Amino acid sequence: MKSVKIDINNQPLIVLLHVIEQQTGVSFAFANEILQGRPNISLHIRHTNLKAVLDKLFPVTQYRIKVIGRQVIIKQQSVSVIPLDSIVKQVEMNTVVVTALGIGRQQRSLGYAYTDVKGSELTTAREINPVNTLSGRVAGLDVNPVNGGVGASTKVTLRGVKIIGGNNQPLYVIDGIPVNNSSPGQAEKFGGYDLGDGTGIINPDEIETISVLKGGAAAALYGSRAGNGVILITTKKGRSKGLGVTFSSNTTVEVANNSYDFQDSYGSGRDGALPADAADAHNFPQVSWGPEMNRDSLVWIWNGKQVPYVNAKHKADAFFREGLTLTNALSVSGGNERTQLRFAYADIRNKDIIPQSGLSRHNFSVRGTSQLSQGVSLDMKITYMNEQVHNRPGLSDNSNNIGYVLSGIAPDIDINWLKDYKQAVTGDYVNWNNNVYQVNPYWVINEQPNTSMQNRLTGFVQLKYQLCPGFYVQGRTGMDYSRFNFREFMDYSTPYNPGGGLALKDRTFREMNSDILLYYSRKVKDFRIGANAGANRMDYNEDLLNTTGRNMNVRHVQRIDNFRTQLSNEQLRRKRINSVYGAINLSYKDLLYVDLTGRNDWSSTLAAGHNSFFYPSASASFVFSELIKSEVLSFGKVRFSIAQTGSDAIDPYQLKLSYGADPDIPSIGGYIIGGVATNSVPFEKLKPSISKSYEAGINLSFFDSRMRVDATLYRSNTRNQVLNAPVSSSSGYTSAVINSGNVQNQGVEVTLGLQPVAGKVFRWDVDVNFARNQNKILVLNSLVSDYYTLSSARWGNVTIAAKSGEEYGSIMGRDFLRDSQGHLILDGNNLPQYNSRDTKLGSSQYKWIGGINNRFSYKRISFSVLLDIKHGGNIFSMTNLLAYSNGLQKGTLEGREGWARSEKERLAAGPATGSWMPTGGLKVEGVSLNENAGGMGRPMYVDVMAYVNPQVYWQRVGNNIPEPFIYDASFVKVRQLSIDYRLPFFRKEVIVSLVSRNPFILSKHIPNVDPESTYNNTNAQGLEYGSLPTRRSFGINIHADL
């Protein structure tokens, strides 16, 4: 056969086939479906025969090739075999991948780390937040779901936290259009709800690939918001012949992953005594300092009854129910060579483990692609999403935080007693615990409901004009529009809102992106040059209206006009960024690739004179395996990149003071309360922040890709950050907008792919990823102080801080007062004391994270198990702190029996507390100050060993000393288990999978709660308070491609 020489860069398969036809004189015959779903191809080969090329393009496992004379007939195999690598990623270096601005590139040419995930990985075992399914799959992609109930958001971090107190989440781009992932609301120190994020617009069934652009060079072309990396999602297009139908159905059952492990031998009461009467019993449903439980005694409960004092039949975890999630997705696509259409619909219905809580979501999308005329093509898409969530749980210190209430209930209190939550006649709330901050959870779910609704519309229109081979112009405009409503109702007599209440939140945002891109490529001998240039305008509009109504006229009526007091607060946010950018890609043979990019942004949020900023990047890739002939090494390249990314002020209006009437007190007695309307000092000279990053990496592939290594070293420094730094409140303000800081992140990411067994019948793939990021704040804040409080905990005076010289997210608080030998210094009552200055008690950042995915395939069955590992971080657990204070924690058992005995002896003997030496109790060892000894101005310490009342001890520690409640947050979880069976179905296949998400926690170090139990997606990681149990799910997935 005649030898062929091919130089094709990012062209459709059909173009390649035409080239071959021209060179060899053969003609191809094939059904159009063989072109379906084929990515553009870049191929540079010389002196190869036709057969080799065809084998590469049409592997024998999937295609049959027949040659009749000069006619080459290409057919698909009768059964379309789903590639075995649909789960395990292949580092197939000649594949074309999607990079910034949607430009397809050969992966071998990239000078930076690149990972992609196939859409099918997200659809077998699903999560309601699709981003959660990425956890453990990509080196350095740190996924932290908020433990905030159904519809909650997820915090994603790539290569560490860069911006102090700012947004550190990556930019999401779907088909070239940035989508807004901001949350309409998050819980903080004093409570709130997780109102979700913007990822609901992602329909996993429609994802072709997800590209994770981690470093500066990869993302530099996306500008301002790409400093934290980019998650680039490419969705599926219509097919050009016939009708294709895909259907998948997923049914999962969810159960609470119950971690409660409380003591169950001491019940309600105080100081070892039971409540005195029914009135007194109101004080103790959540205080477990009573006597040891005993079937022969009776205990008062708040409803006026006396019941046997025994372990309750129904514990707190009986509150939860079995959840159910049904996901059904259908797509229909069809078209001809000129025009293709695709329609997709997905429906999620969820019944959460919290009674009365659930979610429903609908995603519709229509995509049309058309060759309008010679050289002119049109691509357009509209996606609509509707999501409703019922009864998002109150979090943190919200008075209706169910997790907070349940994790405190004394072991003798039966959860079913709480079902009588309202008065039979009046319907008023039944006071059960004399505590308006811990509302009966049955009242919460029934009389204090909340709902949210989001309507989201995204879409784009793109026109592309191919002026000549190698040169095209593309214009595009895209929109992301969202309307979100949240309403929270509190019926009459709800604790803390006794007159009833209604809180409404309406948020509308619209982001428009319009851009134009010119692309040019040309080959000169062994050199190839590609260049592009473009411009973009981004306009952002957001209106937020918060309305509260208080004191209702008519009970149960949930309309705002039913409330006598109504207050509103409106916020309007406007922003524009104009940009120009360009890139040059140079390559020499298949050996060396160099990319240069540059971008200039003009942002409306920065000061005049500082609002234009330019940032370049350069990267290079050297495929050294081209120079080595080796049986062992199939591929090898090294890569380097250096990049800058500029960032504006995310929030507008930070340049000068603004004034207005106080939104909470518009007037009193006719007098208007007004003035400076910000607590943050504006900064007239606000300039952009610049992040500079370096990266070096290596990709190696051995033994025909049986073993693959991808390793990256990186470092980034983010300077002149736009900070809203906390300042002394005596300055009149609580924070100040300034440009300051230098945060360094450096780390290593390694991905290892192994195929220990690669038989035709049995195959075993292992994928391992590992990432370690080291963060250090080199410079913080010369104008203010070297200490930036990111967030503070409700209890224990713990803060999460950024401090210069330390890593981001230190957990700061008081520790035990100790002498130089480390002994506790006890006070006159033999109780521990604390250092009045805060010290570092831990770090909220993990030292390393990783994942291990094993996949075993045997004939038509495959089994895979994904382990997710995070190691070395800490969490401050207020659930455990409170459980120690209220006597429910198992750790409070020590010394209780002894103390009860000692008290009995004391009462029999007669002396008062002060003049009795306890004979039992919690044993405390330490030293105490002897004021009479010592001398020479030095304190004299004497050793002390004493028994104290465990209740007094733990209440003292719980109130003042957070140190014992800082836990190791490391964990090893089985994130996902799945068994797939490929069932022949007529001439196609149906895949039936048994799946489980989060089935087991193999290792953790914190009792009673899941270590992944943060209550928001902001920078307040490392705090846990009244967390709900996390969920584990089991189910079946059916996927049919017809």
Partner 1 sequence: MRRYILFMLVLAGCTKNFRQINTDPGKGTSVAPGEQLAAAAYFLDGGRETGYPNLFLFQPMAQYLNGTTSMGYGSRYIWNDFYNTLMWDIFYSKSIKQLSDLIEKNKSDSMQANYIAAARVLKVYIFSLLTDAYGDVPYSQAGMAYYDKVYTPRYDKQQDIYNDFFLQLDTAFHQFDAAKAPVLNDIVYDGALVKWKRLAASLRLRLGMRLTKVNIVKAKAEVLAAIGEGVMESADDNFRMIHEDYAYPDLRGNGIAQALQEEQAYQHTAGCATFVNYLKAENDPRLGRFFVNRDAAGNDITAITHYLPIQPGMYWWDDVFDFIGANGQVIPYANKYCTINTPFYQYQSPYLHLGYAEVEFLLAEAAARGWIGDANMHYQRGIRAAMAQIGMYPGMPVIPANMVQDFIAAHVLTDKAIEEINMQKWVALFPNGFEAYANQRRTGFPVLLPIADVDGDSQTHGILPKRLLYPAAEAMNNPVHYQEALDRLGGTDDWLQKVWWDR
When asked if residue 828 is in the footprint of partner 1 (CB under 8 A), the reply is: yes
Provide, rounded to whole angstroms, the least separation between the CB of residue 1003 and partner 1: 35
Q: The tokens of 781 are what?
A: 């804040």
When asked if residue 470 is in the footprint of partner 1 (CB under 8 A), the reply is: no
Please state the φ and ψ torsions of residue 259, each to the nearest 5 degrees: -105, 0
The residue among 342 and 507 lying less far from partner 1, judged by its C-beta, is: 507
Provide, rounded to whole angstroms, the least separation between the CB of residue 540 and partner 1: 10
Which parts of 547-566 interact with partner 1 (CB under 8 A)?
550, 565
Of the candidate spans 297-305, 604-612, 619-627, 966-974, the one that interacts with partner 1 by CB under 8 A turns out to be 604-612
In a 3-state reduction of DSSP, which class is residue 370? strand
When asked if residue 604 is in the footprint of partner 1 (CB under 8 A), the reply is: yes
- Give 469: exposed, middle or buried? Use CB within 10 Å, 0-12, 13-18, 19+: exposed
When asked if residue 732 is in the footprint of partner 1 (CB under 8 A), the reply is: yes
* Cβ atoms 244, 343 nearer than 8 A: no
Which parts of 503-542 interact with partner 1 (CB under 8 A)?
516, 518, 533, 535-537
When asked if residue 33 is in the footprint of partner 1 (CB under 8 A), the reply is: no
When asked if residue 675 is in the footprint of partner 1 (CB under 8 A), the reply is: yes
If binding means CB under 8 A, how many residues of this protein chain bind partner 1?
83
The residue among 98 and 649 lying less far from partner 1, judged by its C-beta, is: 649
* Cβ atoms 81, 52 nearer than 8 A: no
Which of 178, 275, 173, 185 minimizes the C-alpha distance to 231? 173
Amino acid at 405: V
Of the candidate spans 107-115, 319-327, 412-420, 568-576, the one that interacts with partner 1 by CB under 8 A turns out to be 568-576
Of the candidate spans 29-37, 131-139, 663-671, 978-986, the one that interacts with partner 1 by CB under 8 A turns out to be 663-671
The residue among 785 and 854 lying less far from partner 1, judged by its C-beta, is: 785
Which of 368, 208, 1, 120 minimizes the C-alpha distance to 1039? 120
Which of 922, 904, 739 minimizes the C-alpha distance to 829? 922
Of residues 46, 424, 631, 671, which one binds partner 1 by CB under 8 A? 671
Of the candidate spans 116-124, 585-593, 785-793, 1016-1024, the one that interacts with partner 1 by CB under 8 A turns out to be 785-793
The residue among 35 and 533 lying less far from partner 1, judged by its C-beta, is: 533
The residue among 207 and 606 lying less far from partner 1, judged by its C-beta, is: 606
C-alpha span between 293 and 725 (Å, rounded): 52
Of the candidate spans 68-76, 326-334, 782-790, 983-991, the one that interacts with partner 1 by CB under 8 A turns out to be 782-790
Of the candidate spans 113-121, 258-266, 733-741, 877-885, the one that interacts with partner 1 by CB under 8 A turns out to be 733-741
Of residues 731, 839, 930, 1003, which one binds partner 1 by CB under 8 A? 731
Of residues 20, 88, 410, 801, which one binds partner 1 by CB under 8 A? 801
The residue among 538 and 849 lying less far from partner 1, judged by its C-beta, is: 538
Of residues 20, 53, 406, 736, which one binds partner 1 by CB under 8 A? 736
Q: Binding mask 573-592 vs partner 1 (x if CB under 8 A, - otherwise)?
A: -xxx-xxx------------
In a 3-state reduction of DSSP, which class is residue 635? strand
When asked if residue 60 is in the footprint of partner 1 (CB under 8 A), the reply is: no
When asked if residue 907 is in the footprint of partner 1 (CB under 8 A), the reply is: no
Burial per residue of 292-324, b for 16 or more beta-carbon CB atoms within 10 angstroms, e otherwise: ebeeeeebbbbeeeeeebbebeebbeebbbebb
Which parts of 144-163 interact with partner 1 (CB under 8 A)?
none
* Cβ atoms 947, 898 nearer than 8 A: yes
Provide, rounded to whole angstroms, the least separation between the CB of residue 213 and partner 1: 23
Which parts of 217-256 interact with partner 1 (CB under 8 A)?
none
Burial per residue of 60-97, b for 16 or more beta-carbon CB atoms within 10 angstroms, e otherwise: eeebebeeeeeebebebeeeeeeeebbbbbbbebebbb
Of the candidate spans 23-31, 162-170, 660-668, 929-937, the one that interacts with partner 1 by CB under 8 A turns out to be 660-668
Degrees (nearest 5) of the Cα angle 827, 833, 836?
A: 130
- Give 204: exposed, middle or buried? Use CB within 10 Å, 0-12, 13-18, 19+: buried
C-alpha span between 294 and 897 (Å, rounded): 13
DSSP per position, 119-181? GGGGTSS--SSGGGGGTTTSTTEEEEE---STT--EEEEESS--STTS--PPEEEETTEEE--
The residue among 440 and 605 lying less far from partner 1, judged by its C-beta, is: 605
Of residues 25, 69, 669, 759, which one binds partner 1 by CB under 8 A? 669
Which of 176, 38, 171, 43 minimizes the C-alpha distance to 103? 176
Provide, rounded to whole angstroms, the least separation between the CB of residue 786 and partner 1: 8
When asked if residue 910 is in the footprint of partner 1 (CB under 8 A), the reply is: no
- Please count the CA atoms within 13 angstroms of the CA of 315 that sit on its side-chain side: 14
Of residues 640, 653, 694, 1034, which one binds partner 1 by CB under 8 A? 653
Which residue shows structure tokens 């992944």? 1012
- Residue 546 neighbours by CB under 8 Å, 6+ apart: 503, 504, 505, 568, 569, 570
The residue among 671 and 986 lying less far from partner 1, judged by its C-beta, is: 671
Which parts of 918-957 interact with partner 1 (CB under 8 A)?
952
Please state the φ and ψ torsions of residue 669, each to the nearest 5 degrees: 55, 25
Helix (H) or strand (E) segment spanning residue 870: strand 861-871
When asked if residue 647 is in the footprint of partner 1 (CB under 8 A), the reply is: no
Of residues 627, 632, 668, 936, which one binds partner 1 by CB under 8 A? 668
The residue among 321 and 537 lying less far from partner 1, judged by its C-beta, is: 537
The residue among 61 and 913 lying less far from partner 1, judged by its C-beta, is: 913
- Give 651: exposed, middle or buried? Use CB within 10 Å, 0-12, 13-18, 19+: middle
Q: How far apart are the first and last CA of the chain?
A: 38
Which parts of 385-404 interact with partner 1 (CB under 8 A)?
none
Provide, rounded to whole angstroms, the least separation between the CB of residue 431 and partner 1: 10
When asked if residue 376 is in the footprint of partner 1 (CB under 8 A), the reply is: no
The residue among 516 and 707 lying less far from partner 1, judged by its C-beta, is: 516
When asked if residue 661 is in the footprint of partner 1 (CB under 8 A), the reply is: yes
- Give 986: exposed, middle or buried? Use CB within 10 Å, 0-12, 13-18, 19+: exposed
Which parts of 262-281 interact with partner 1 (CB under 8 A)?
276-277, 279-280
Provide, rounded to whole angstroms, the least separation between the CB of residue 601 and partner 1: 9
C-alpha span between 382 and 371 (Å, rounded): 18
The residue among 228 and 494 lying less far from partner 1, judged by its C-beta, is: 494
The residue among 772 and 956 lying less far from partner 1, judged by its C-beta, is: 956
Q: Are strands 825-826 and 810-813 parallel, antiparallel or unpaired?
A: unpaired
Degrees (nearest 5) of the Cα angle 575, 577, 580?
A: 175
Of the candidate spans 109-117, 447-455, 716-724, 830-838, the one that interacts with partner 1 by CB under 8 A turns out to be 830-838
When asked if residue 838 is in the footprint of partner 1 (CB under 8 A), the reply is: yes
The residue among 243 and 665 lying less far from partner 1, judged by its C-beta, is: 665
The residue among 520 and 624 lying less far from partner 1, judged by its C-beta, is: 520
When asked if residue 685 is in the footprint of partner 1 (CB under 8 A), the reply is: no
Q: The tokens of 495 are what?
A: 């604790």
Of residues 92, 428, 662, 815, which one binds partner 1 by CB under 8 A? 662
- Residue 304 neighbours by CB under 8 Å, 6+ apart: 278
Which parts of 426-465 interact with partner 1 (CB under 8 A)?
434-436
When asked if residue 608 is in the footprint of partner 1 (CB under 8 A), the reply is: yes
